Protein backbone atom coordinates (compact mmCIF):
# COMPACT_ATOMS: atom_id res chain seq x y z
CA UNK A 1 0.00 0.00 0.00
CA UNK A 2 2.71 2.46 0.94
CA UNK A 3 4.81 4.15 -1.64
CA UNK A 4 6.56 7.40 -0.89
CA UNK A 5 5.45 8.57 -4.34
CA UNK A 6 1.74 8.14 -3.63
CA UNK A 7 1.42 10.63 -0.78
CA UNK A 8 4.52 12.76 -1.32
CA UNK A 9 2.42 15.90 -1.80
CA UNK A 10 0.13 15.27 1.22
CA UNK A 11 0.63 16.88 4.63
CA UNK A 12 -0.88 14.06 6.65
CA UNK A 13 -2.55 10.71 6.08
CA UNK A 14 -4.23 8.98 9.03
CA UNK A 15 -5.44 5.37 9.13
CA UNK A 16 -8.32 4.83 11.53
CA UNK A 17 -9.56 1.58 13.01
CA UNK A 18 -12.24 1.03 15.65
CA UNK A 19 -12.85 -2.71 16.11
CA UNK A 20 -15.91 -2.20 18.36
CA UNK A 21 -17.92 -0.45 15.65
CA UNK A 22 -16.13 -2.04 12.68
CA UNK A 23 -14.86 1.33 11.46
CA UNK A 24 -11.95 1.30 9.02
CA UNK A 25 -11.22 4.66 7.49
CA UNK A 26 -8.52 6.91 6.06
CA UNK A 27 -8.36 10.68 6.54
CA UNK A 28 -6.08 12.52 4.11
CA UNK A 29 -5.05 16.14 4.53
CA UNK A 30 -3.53 17.34 1.30
CA UNK A 31 -2.75 21.00 1.96
CA UNK A 32 -3.65 23.54 4.64
CA UNK A 33 -1.76 26.57 3.24
CA UNK A 34 -5.04 28.44 2.79
CA UNK A 35 -6.82 27.14 5.89
CA UNK A 36 -8.19 23.98 7.52
CA UNK A 37 -8.80 21.10 5.11
CA UNK A 38 -12.45 20.68 4.14
CA UNK A 39 -13.80 17.69 2.27
CA UNK A 40 -16.55 15.10 2.38
CA UNK A 41 -16.44 11.67 3.94
CA UNK A 42 -17.19 8.95 1.41
CA UNK A 43 -18.34 5.43 2.36
CA UNK A 44 -17.71 2.76 -0.23
CA UNK A 45 -17.01 -1.01 -0.25
CA UNK A 46 -13.46 -0.59 -1.60
CA UNK A 47 -12.07 -3.98 -2.68
CA UNK A 48 -8.77 -3.24 -0.89
CA UNK A 49 -7.10 -0.71 1.41
CA UNK A 50 -4.91 0.26 -1.52
CA UNK A 51 -7.98 1.27 -3.56
CA UNK A 52 -9.29 3.31 -0.63
CA UNK A 53 -5.92 5.03 -0.18
CA UNK A 54 -5.65 5.85 -3.87
CA UNK A 55 -9.16 7.35 -3.85
CA UNK A 56 -8.69 9.47 -0.73
CA UNK A 57 -5.34 10.84 -1.95
CA UNK A 58 -6.79 11.79 -5.34
CA UNK A 59 -9.96 13.29 -3.87
CA UNK A 60 -8.20 15.33 -1.16
CA UNK A 61 -5.82 16.82 -3.75
CA UNK A 62 -8.86 17.80 -5.83
CA UNK A 63 -10.39 19.56 -2.81
CA UNK A 64 -7.28 21.74 -2.41
CA UNK A 65 -7.65 22.95 -6.00
CA UNK A 66 -11.40 23.40 -5.64
CA UNK A 67 -11.12 25.59 -2.52
CA UNK A 68 -8.19 27.58 -3.95
CA UNK A 69 -9.96 28.27 -7.26
CA UNK A 70 -13.14 29.27 -5.41
CA UNK A 71 -11.17 31.85 -3.43
CA UNK A 72 -11.96 30.17 -0.10
CA UNK A 73 -9.60 30.28 2.87
CA UNK A 74 -9.75 26.50 3.17
CA UNK A 75 -7.42 23.65 2.41
CA UNK A 76 -8.09 20.28 0.84
CA UNK A 77 -8.85 17.05 2.65
CA UNK A 78 -11.07 14.02 2.36
CA UNK A 79 -12.02 10.92 4.32
CA UNK A 80 -13.08 7.48 3.16
CA UNK A 81 -14.78 4.78 5.20
CA UNK A 82 -14.16 1.27 3.89
CA UNK A 83 -17.49 -0.53 3.95
CA UNK A 84 -20.90 -0.99 2.39
CA UNK A 85 -23.11 1.97 3.37
CA UNK A 86 -26.26 -0.14 3.07
CA UNK A 87 -25.11 -2.82 5.51
CA UNK A 88 -22.32 -1.48 7.69
CA UNK A 89 -23.34 2.08 8.48
CA UNK A 90 -24.42 2.23 12.11
CA UNK A 91 -24.69 5.06 14.66
CA UNK A 92 -21.70 3.54 16.53
CA UNK A 93 -19.57 3.56 13.36
CA UNK A 94 -20.53 7.16 12.54
CA UNK A 95 -19.76 8.29 16.09
CA UNK A 96 -16.39 6.52 15.94
CA UNK A 97 -15.70 8.41 12.71
CA UNK A 98 -16.62 11.64 14.51
CA UNK A 99 -14.07 10.84 17.26
CA UNK A 100 -11.39 10.27 14.61
CA UNK A 101 -12.23 13.62 12.98
CA UNK A 102 -12.16 15.27 16.40
CA UNK A 103 -8.62 13.99 17.05
CA UNK A 104 -7.51 16.04 14.02
CA UNK A 105 -8.37 19.08 16.21
CA UNK A 106 -9.94 21.17 13.43
CA UNK A 107 -7.26 20.59 10.78
CA UNK A 108 -9.86 18.48 8.92
CA UNK A 109 -13.54 19.46 8.58
CA UNK A 110 -15.87 16.75 7.36
CA UNK A 111 -19.17 16.71 5.40
CA UNK A 112 -21.45 14.33 3.50
CA UNK A 113 -20.33 12.65 0.29
CA UNK A 114 -21.10 9.58 -1.84
CA UNK A 115 -22.51 6.87 0.47
CA UNK A 116 -23.22 9.24 3.37
CA UNK A 117 -26.14 11.61 3.97
CA UNK A 118 -26.82 14.87 5.75
CA UNK A 119 -28.72 12.81 8.38
CA UNK A 120 -25.61 10.62 9.00
CA UNK A 121 -23.72 13.74 9.94
CA UNK A 122 -26.16 14.48 12.72
CA UNK A 123 -24.68 11.28 14.23
CA UNK A 124 -21.06 12.26 13.43
CA UNK A 125 -21.77 15.66 15.02
CA UNK A 126 -22.42 13.95 18.38
CA UNK A 127 -18.67 13.32 18.74
CA UNK A 128 -17.11 16.25 16.86
CA UNK A 129 -18.02 19.82 16.03
CA UNK A 130 -15.79 19.84 12.95
CA UNK A 131 -18.67 19.13 10.56
CA UNK A 132 -20.36 21.27 7.89
CA UNK A 133 -23.43 20.66 5.74
CA UNK A 134 -25.50 19.72 8.80
CA UNK A 135 -29.30 19.57 8.82
CA UNK A 136 -30.95 22.96 9.44
CA UNK A 137 -32.19 21.87 12.90
CA UNK A 138 -28.54 21.39 13.95
CA UNK A 139 -27.51 24.86 12.81
CA UNK A 140 -26.36 23.83 9.33
CA UNK A 141 -27.66 24.94 5.94
CA UNK A 142 -28.96 21.55 4.79
CA UNK A 143 -28.56 20.02 1.33
CA UNK A 144 -25.91 21.91 -0.70
CA UNK A 145 -27.03 20.41 -4.06
CA UNK A 146 -29.37 23.23 -5.17
CA UNK A 147 -26.50 25.70 -4.63
CA UNK A 148 -24.16 23.48 -6.64
CA UNK A 149 -26.79 23.54 -9.40
CA UNK A 150 -27.04 27.34 -9.24
CA UNK A 151 -23.24 27.61 -9.49
CA UNK A 152 -23.25 25.34 -12.55
CA UNK A 153 -26.03 27.42 -14.10
CA UNK A 154 -24.19 30.72 -13.53
CA UNK A 155 -21.01 29.09 -14.88
CA UNK A 156 -22.83 27.96 -18.03
CA UNK A 157 -24.13 31.52 -18.50
CA UNK A 158 -20.51 32.75 -18.29
CA UNK A 159 -19.44 30.10 -20.81
CA UNK A 160 -22.27 31.11 -23.17
CA UNK A 161 -21.27 34.79 -22.94
CA UNK A 162 -17.67 33.86 -23.75
CA UNK A 163 -18.44 31.47 -26.60
CA UNK A 164 -21.27 33.42 -28.22
CA UNK A 165 -20.22 37.05 -27.73
CA UNK A 166 -22.31 38.03 -24.76
CA UNK A 167 -25.38 35.95 -25.63
CA UNK A 168 -27.55 34.25 -22.98
CA UNK A 169 -28.84 30.67 -22.66
CA UNK A 170 -32.28 31.51 -24.02
CA UNK A 171 -33.14 29.33 -27.00
CA UNK A 172 -30.06 27.12 -26.52
CA UNK A 173 -30.30 23.34 -26.33
CA UNK A 174 -28.69 21.74 -23.26
CA UNK A 175 -28.12 17.98 -22.93
CA UNK A 176 -28.19 17.07 -19.22
CA UNK A 177 -26.76 13.71 -18.09
CA UNK A 178 -28.14 12.70 -14.67
CA UNK A 179 -31.26 14.09 -13.00
CA UNK A 180 -30.22 13.61 -9.37
CA UNK A 181 -29.92 16.22 -6.65
CA UNK A 182 -27.90 18.60 -8.81
CA UNK A 183 -29.10 17.71 -12.33
CA UNK A 184 -32.76 18.23 -11.45
CA UNK A 185 -32.24 21.72 -10.04
CA UNK A 186 -29.96 22.60 -12.96
CA UNK A 187 -32.78 21.66 -15.36
CA UNK A 188 -35.11 23.96 -13.41
CA UNK A 189 -32.73 26.94 -13.74
CA UNK A 190 -32.12 26.22 -17.43
CA UNK A 191 -35.83 25.86 -18.23
CA UNK A 192 -36.53 29.16 -16.43
CA UNK A 193 -33.83 30.80 -18.57
CA UNK A 194 -35.57 29.63 -21.77
CA UNK A 195 -33.24 26.76 -22.69
CA UNK A 196 -34.51 23.61 -24.42
CA UNK A 197 -33.60 20.40 -22.55
CA UNK A 198 -32.59 16.94 -23.69
CA UNK A 199 -32.09 14.61 -20.70
CA UNK A 200 -30.88 11.11 -19.83
CA UNK A 201 -30.87 9.10 -16.61
CA UNK A 202 -30.72 5.38 -15.84
CA UNK A 203 -33.73 6.00 -13.58
CA UNK A 204 -36.79 6.16 -15.86
CA UNK A 205 -39.00 7.74 -13.19
CA UNK A 206 -36.71 10.73 -13.19
CA UNK A 207 -36.69 11.16 -16.97
CA UNK A 208 -40.50 10.86 -17.06
CA UNK A 209 -40.77 13.57 -14.39
CA UNK A 210 -38.36 15.82 -16.31
CA UNK A 211 -40.37 15.36 -19.50
CA UNK A 212 -43.49 16.47 -17.63
CA UNK A 213 -41.94 19.29 -15.58
CA UNK A 214 -39.62 20.87 -18.19
CA UNK A 215 -40.97 19.56 -21.53
CA UNK A 216 -37.59 17.84 -21.81
CA UNK A 217 -36.83 15.41 -24.62
CA UNK A 218 -35.66 12.07 -23.18
CA UNK A 219 -32.89 9.95 -24.74
CA UNK A 220 -31.33 6.64 -23.68
CA UNK A 221 -28.33 6.97 -21.28
CA UNK A 222 -25.77 5.96 -23.95
CA UNK A 223 -27.27 8.37 -26.52
CA UNK A 224 -26.69 11.57 -24.53
CA UNK A 225 -23.12 12.08 -25.81
CA UNK A 226 -24.15 12.25 -29.47
CA UNK A 227 -27.08 14.63 -28.97
CA UNK A 228 -26.75 17.69 -31.18
CA UNK A 229 -26.85 20.36 -28.49
CA UNK A 230 -25.22 23.70 -27.74
CA UNK A 231 -24.17 22.53 -24.28
CA UNK A 232 -23.48 19.15 -22.66
CA UNK A 233 -23.87 19.11 -18.85
CA UNK A 234 -22.49 15.94 -17.17
CA UNK A 235 -24.20 15.62 -13.77
CA UNK A 236 -23.92 11.87 -13.08
CA UNK A 237 -20.48 10.28 -12.79
CA UNK A 238 -16.79 10.95 -13.50
CA UNK A 239 -14.52 10.11 -16.48
CA UNK A 240 -17.34 10.66 -18.99
CA UNK A 241 -15.03 12.60 -21.33
CA UNK A 242 -12.90 9.77 -22.69
CA UNK A 243 -11.65 8.11 -25.89
CA UNK A 244 -15.02 6.52 -26.55
CA UNK A 245 -17.25 9.56 -25.94
CA UNK A 246 -15.13 12.41 -27.33
CA UNK A 247 -15.62 11.52 -31.03
CA UNK A 248 -19.40 11.40 -30.45
CA UNK A 249 -19.77 14.89 -28.98
CA UNK A 250 -21.65 17.51 -31.00
CA UNK A 251 -21.72 20.46 -28.60
CA UNK A 252 -19.92 23.81 -28.27
CA UNK A 253 -19.68 23.97 -24.46
CA UNK A 254 -19.29 21.36 -21.69
CA UNK A 255 -20.03 22.21 -18.07
CA UNK A 256 -21.63 20.19 -15.30
CA UNK A 257 -21.53 19.04 -11.69
CA UNK A 258 -19.74 15.69 -12.00
CA UNK A 259 -16.26 15.46 -10.48
CA UNK A 260 -13.23 14.37 -12.55
CA UNK A 261 -15.04 14.51 -15.89
CA UNK A 262 -11.87 14.21 -17.98
CA UNK A 263 -10.61 10.61 -18.08
CA UNK A 264 -7.09 12.09 -18.34
CA UNK A 265 -5.41 15.45 -19.01
CA UNK A 266 -4.96 14.67 -22.72
CA UNK A 267 -8.74 14.79 -23.15
CA UNK A 268 -8.70 18.44 -22.05
CA UNK A 269 -6.26 19.16 -24.87
CA UNK A 270 -8.42 17.26 -27.38
CA UNK A 271 -11.50 19.31 -26.42
CA UNK A 272 -9.49 22.49 -26.99
CA UNK A 273 -8.34 21.28 -30.42
CA UNK A 274 -11.95 20.59 -31.37
CA UNK A 275 -13.02 24.09 -30.29
CA UNK A 276 -15.23 22.81 -27.46
CA UNK A 277 -15.18 25.18 -24.48
CA UNK A 278 -14.77 23.08 -21.32
CA UNK A 279 -15.70 24.58 -17.95
CA UNK A 280 -13.24 22.92 -15.50
CA UNK A 281 -15.32 20.69 -13.22
CA UNK A 282 -13.72 21.67 -9.92
CA UNK A 283 -14.41 25.34 -10.64
CA UNK A 284 -17.98 25.15 -11.96
CA UNK A 285 -19.18 22.62 -9.35
CA UNK A 286 -17.87 24.49 -6.26
CA UNK A 287 -21.22 26.09 -5.32
CA UNK A 288 -22.05 23.51 -2.64
CA UNK A 289 -18.60 23.84 -1.08
CA UNK A 290 -18.91 27.63 -1.11
CA UNK A 291 -22.23 27.30 0.71
CA UNK A 292 -21.07 24.90 3.44
CA UNK A 293 -17.88 26.93 3.94
CA UNK A 294 -20.08 29.87 4.93
CA UNK A 295 -21.46 27.84 7.85
CA UNK A 296 -18.16 28.41 9.61
CA UNK A 297 -18.29 32.22 9.43
CA UNK A 298 -22.06 32.60 9.81
CA UNK A 299 -24.26 32.02 6.79
CA UNK A 300 -25.56 35.10 4.93
CA UNK A 301 -27.49 34.86 1.65
CA UNK A 302 -25.94 38.09 0.28
CA UNK A 303 -22.44 36.71 0.85
CA UNK A 304 -23.37 33.44 -0.86
CA UNK A 305 -24.78 35.33 -3.87
CA UNK A 306 -21.57 37.37 -4.11
CA UNK A 307 -19.37 34.28 -3.97
CA UNK A 308 -21.42 32.50 -6.65
CA UNK A 309 -21.00 35.57 -8.88
CA UNK A 310 -17.29 35.24 -8.10
CA UNK A 311 -17.37 31.60 -9.31
CA UNK A 312 -18.77 32.76 -12.67
CA UNK A 313 -16.20 35.59 -12.87
CA UNK A 314 -13.37 33.14 -12.17
CA UNK A 315 -14.59 30.92 -15.00
CA UNK A 316 -14.70 33.88 -17.40
CA UNK A 317 -11.12 34.76 -16.42
CA UNK A 318 -10.02 31.13 -16.97
CA UNK A 319 -11.65 31.03 -20.43
CA UNK A 320 -9.90 34.25 -21.47
CA UNK A 321 -6.50 33.26 -20.12
CA UNK A 322 -6.66 29.74 -21.61
CA UNK A 323 -7.53 31.20 -25.01
CA UNK A 324 -4.70 33.74 -24.79
CA UNK A 325 -2.16 31.08 -23.75
CA UNK A 326 -3.45 28.39 -26.15
CA UNK A 327 -3.86 25.99 -23.20
CA UNK A 328 -6.66 23.67 -22.13
CA UNK A 329 -9.02 25.37 -19.64
CA UNK A 330 -8.45 22.60 -17.06
CA UNK A 331 -4.68 23.23 -17.07
CA UNK A 332 -5.26 26.98 -16.74
CA UNK A 333 -7.61 26.41 -13.78
CA UNK A 334 -4.95 24.28 -12.04
CA UNK A 335 -2.34 27.01 -12.71
CA UNK A 336 -4.66 29.57 -11.11
CA UNK A 337 -5.21 27.41 -8.01
CA UNK A 338 -1.49 26.73 -7.68
CA UNK A 339 -0.67 30.44 -7.94
CA UNK A 340 -3.01 31.14 -5.02
CA UNK A 341 -1.43 28.35 -2.98
CA UNK A 342 2.10 29.57 -3.72
CA UNK A 343 1.14 33.13 -2.68
CA UNK A 344 -0.31 31.81 0.62
CA UNK A 345 2.82 29.74 1.32
CA UNK A 346 5.08 32.74 0.55
CA UNK A 347 3.12 34.86 3.07
CA UNK A 348 3.55 32.16 5.73
CA UNK A 349 7.25 31.47 5.13
CA UNK A 350 9.52 32.84 7.88
CA UNK A 351 11.38 35.88 6.54
P1 LIG B 1 -27.13 11.97 -7.37
O2 LIG B 1 -26.68 10.62 -6.98
O3 LIG B 1 -28.27 12.62 -6.65
O4 LIG B 1 -27.54 11.96 -8.93
C5 LIG B 1 -26.87 11.26 -9.92
C6 LIG B 1 -27.90 10.91 -11.00
O7 LIG B 1 -27.21 10.33 -12.11
C8 LIG B 1 -28.95 9.90 -10.54
O9 LIG B 1 -30.23 10.35 -10.91
C10 LIG B 1 -28.54 8.63 -11.28
O11 LIG B 1 -29.65 7.78 -11.57
C12 LIG B 1 -27.94 9.21 -12.55
N13 LIG B 1 -27.05 8.32 -13.27
C14 LIG B 1 -26.21 7.36 -12.78
N15 LIG B 1 -25.58 6.74 -13.79
C16 LIG B 1 -26.01 7.31 -14.93
C17 LIG B 1 -25.74 7.10 -16.31
N18 LIG B 1 -24.89 6.15 -16.73
N19 LIG B 1 -26.37 7.87 -17.23
C20 LIG B 1 -27.26 8.81 -16.85
N21 LIG B 1 -27.56 9.05 -15.55
C22 LIG B 1 -26.96 8.30 -14.61
O23 LIG B 1 -25.84 12.90 -7.34
P24 LIG B 1 -25.77 14.49 -7.28
O25 LIG B 1 -25.67 14.94 -5.88
O26 LIG B 1 -26.81 15.09 -8.16
O27 LIG B 1 -24.33 14.75 -7.94
C28 LIG B 1 -24.12 14.56 -9.33
C29 LIG B 1 -22.62 14.58 -9.59
O30 LIG B 1 -22.07 15.84 -9.19
C31 LIG B 1 -21.82 13.53 -8.82
O32 LIG B 1 -20.75 13.12 -9.65
C33 LIG B 1 -21.28 14.29 -7.61
O34 LIG B 1 -20.08 13.73 -7.13
C35 LIG B 1 -21.04 15.66 -8.23
N36 LIG B 1 -21.08 16.75 -7.26
C37 LIG B 1 -22.19 16.96 -6.49
C38 LIG B 1 -22.25 18.01 -5.59
C39 LIG B 1 -23.48 18.24 -4.77
O40 LIG B 1 -23.60 19.33 -4.17
N41 LIG B 1 -24.42 17.32 -4.70
C42 LIG B 1 -21.13 18.94 -5.44
C43 LIG B 1 -20.02 18.70 -6.36
C44 LIG B 1 -20.01 17.62 -7.21
Q: Per residue in 18-54, pLDDT tens?
A: 999 999 999 999 999 999 999 999 999 999 999 999 9
* Whether residue 118 sits in one domain with residue 197: no
Q: 238 C-alpha vs ligand 1 centroid, how far in Å? A: 9
Q: Which of 116, 138, 160 represents a domain boundary (last residue)?
A: 138
* Whether residue 211 sits in one domain with residue 158: yes
Residue 222 domain-assigned (yes or no): yes
Residue 3 domain-assigned (yes or no): no
Would you call 89 a catalytic residue per the annotation?
Answer: no
Among 78, 89, 309, 327, which one carries the catalytic annotation? 78
Q: Cα–Cα distance between 92 and 18 in angstroms, integer?
A: 10
Give the residue among 240, 245, 184, 248 at the shortest CA–CA distance from 216.
Answer: 184
The model's pLDDT over 83-139, given as tens digits with 9 standing for 90+, comes to: 999 999 999 999 999 999 999 999 999 999 989 998 899 999 999 999 999 988 888
* Whether residue 308 sits in one domain with residue 195: yes
* Whether residue 236 sits in one domain with residue 160: yes
Q: Tell me the mean pLDDT in the region 272-300.
A: 95
* Whether residue 189 sits in one domain with residue 128: no
Residue 144 beta carbon below 6 angstroms from any ligand 1 atom: yes
User: Residue 186: which domain range?
Assistant: 145-338
* Whether residue 285 sits in one domain with residue 206: yes
Residue 261 beta carbon below 6 angstroms from any ligand 1 atom: no
Domain count, the chain: 2
* Predicted pLDDT of residue 4: 58
Residue 200 beta carbon below 6 angstroms from any ligand 1 atom: yes
Q: Cα–Cα distance between 136 and 159 in angstroms, integer?
A: 33
* Whether residue 165 sits in one domain with residue 123: no
Give the residue among 124, 123, 125, 116 at the shortest CA–CA distance from 143.
Answer: 116
* Whether residue 197 sits in one domain with residue 52: no
Q: 259 C-alpha vs ligand 1 centroid, how far in Å? A: 9
Q: 239 C-alpha vs ligand 1 centroid, how far in Å? A: 13
The model's pLDDT over 179-234, given as tens digits with 9 standing for 90+, comes to: 999 999 999 999 999 999 999 999 999 999 999 999 999 999 999 999 999 999 99
Whole-angstrom Cα Rg for the chain:
20
Q: 230 C-alpha vs ligand 1 centroid, how far in Å? A: 21
* Predicted pLDDT of residue 2: 61
- In total, the chain counts a number of residues equal to 351
* Whether residue 238 sits in one domain with residue 150: yes
Nearest residue CA, atom 32 of ligand 1?
Answer: 258
Q: Which of 138, 158, 184 represents a domain boundary (last residue)?
A: 138
Q: Cα–Cα distance between 240 and 235 in angstroms, integer?
A: 10
Residue 71 domain-assigned (yes or no): no
**Class of residue 137 by CB neighbours under 10 A (exposed 0-12, middle 13-18, buried 19+):** exposed
Q: Which of 138, 164, 181 represents a domain boundary (last residue)?
A: 138
Amino acid sequence: VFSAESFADHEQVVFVSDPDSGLRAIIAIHDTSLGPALGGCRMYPYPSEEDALRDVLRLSRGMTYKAAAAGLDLGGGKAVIIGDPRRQKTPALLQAMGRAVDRMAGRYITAEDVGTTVADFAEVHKTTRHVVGLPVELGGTGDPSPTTALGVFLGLEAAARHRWNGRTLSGRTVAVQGLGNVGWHLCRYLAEAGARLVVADVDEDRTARAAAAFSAEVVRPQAIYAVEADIFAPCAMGAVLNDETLPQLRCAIIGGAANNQLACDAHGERLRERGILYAPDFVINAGGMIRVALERDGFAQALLDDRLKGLAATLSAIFERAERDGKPTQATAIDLAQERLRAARARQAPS
